[in-house]
Structures are given as C-alpha cells and as structure tokens.
C-alpha cells in the first residue's frame, strides 16, 4: 500500500515538474500581446563599423518592437548571443531601410550589429508596452 502511495506521489510530482519545464520560456523572448498599446522607450543614433561588433540593444524583460534605420551602408545583425555578426554572418539589413523587428518574432534579447562593408551611423528605437 505504501509503495502505491509513493509511486502515485512521485508520478504526480513528475507530471507537475514536466509541465513547468515545458511552459517555462526565456523571459527575454516575450513579446507584446495583440492589440496592446506600445510607446517609444528609447531612441538614439549608433555608429557601427567593420572594426567591431556593437551592441545596439541590451536584453530586456519586455519590449514590443525594435526599429533599426540604416543610411548609406548595409549592416549585419545578430539576435542571438551565440552568433557574432561579421561581413558574411548574421541577418542583412540593406542600406537606406527602416525595419521594425516585432518582439513576438525576434524577442527582447541583446542585438548586435556590424557594418557589412563600411562604417555607418544607424538610428535605433525601442518600443515597450
């Protein structure tokens, strides 16, 4: 009888632990809920070049979206601390473009940038809810 109770309790604890593990999510990957208002939180200009990677957004627990505007030069972007952008590695954002990276898809983690072909100045903005 004691073995059945012990096995039942152990099984229940395993089910609860499995549920918590499967439903836990990295806090920096949370995005905004649909139809939720967001406001601009930060906006600045950043110089990026081919000499080094530049962190353009730090990891946040909440954000709605991040907007990056380039001028005359393309940049390479990384949305993961596991990938270091270079001239050939990363996500390409072309010159003279403005792209809004929605947090539901790209998360709120750190973002680094690298000037793909030459140094350039970009404008970055972060929206939060």
Q: Residue 82 maps to which CATH number?
A: 2.60.120.770
Residue 111 pLDDT: 96
Residue range 11-41, pLDDT digits in tens:
777 777 676 666 554 545 555 566 778 889 9
Inside any domain, residue 8: no
78 occurs within a structural domain: yes
pLDDT of 41: 93
Helix (H, G, I), strand (E, B) or coil at 80: coil
Residue 77 lies in a domain: yes
Radius of gyration for the chain, computed over Cα atoms and rounded to the nearest angstrom: 21
Answer whether 44's CB lies under 8 Å from 123's CB: yes
Q: Is residue 71 in some structural domain?
A: yes
32: Cα separation from own chain's centroid: 13
- Domain assignment present for residue 46? The answer is yes
Measure the CA–CA gap between 79 and 72, rounded to whole angstroms: 22
Q: Tell me whether residue 1 is in a domain.
A: no
The pLDDT, as a whole number, for residue 126 is 96
Is the Cβ–Cβ distance between 76 and 68 less than 8 Å?
A: no
Residue 13 lies in a domain: no
pTM above 0.75, yes or no: no
Q: How far apart are CA 54 and CA 103, in angstroms?
A: 20
The pLDDT of residue 82 is 85
Q: Residue 123's pLDDT is what?
A: 97
The residue segments making up the domain with residue 45 are 27-128
Predicted confidence (pLDDT) per residue in 50-104, tens digit: 888 999 999 998 899 999 999 999 999 999 888 889 888 999 999 999 999 999 8
Cα angle 94, 100, 106 (rounded to 5 degrees) comes to 100
CA atoms within a 13 Å half-sphere pointing along the CA-CB vector of 64: 15
Number of structural domains the chain divides into = 1
pLDDT of residue 16: 75
Examine residue 17 and state whether it is found in any structural domain, yes or no.
Answer: no
């Amino acid at each position: 009888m004691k073995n059945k109770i012990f096995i039942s309790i152990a099984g229940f604890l395993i089910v609860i632990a499995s549920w918590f593990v499967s439903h836990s999510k990295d806090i920096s990957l949370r995005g905004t809920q649909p139809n939720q208002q967001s406001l601009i939180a930060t906006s600045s200009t950043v110089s990026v070049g081919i000499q080094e990677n530049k962190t353009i957004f730090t990891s946040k627990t909440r954000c709605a979206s991040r907007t990056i505007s380039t001028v005359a030069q393309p940049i390479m972007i990384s949305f993961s601390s596991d990938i270091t952008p270079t001239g050939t590695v990363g996500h390409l954002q072309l010159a003279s473009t403005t792209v809004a990276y929605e947090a539901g898809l790209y998360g709120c983690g750190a973002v680094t940038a690298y000037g793909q072909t030459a140094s350039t100045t970009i404008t970055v903005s972060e929206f939060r809810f």
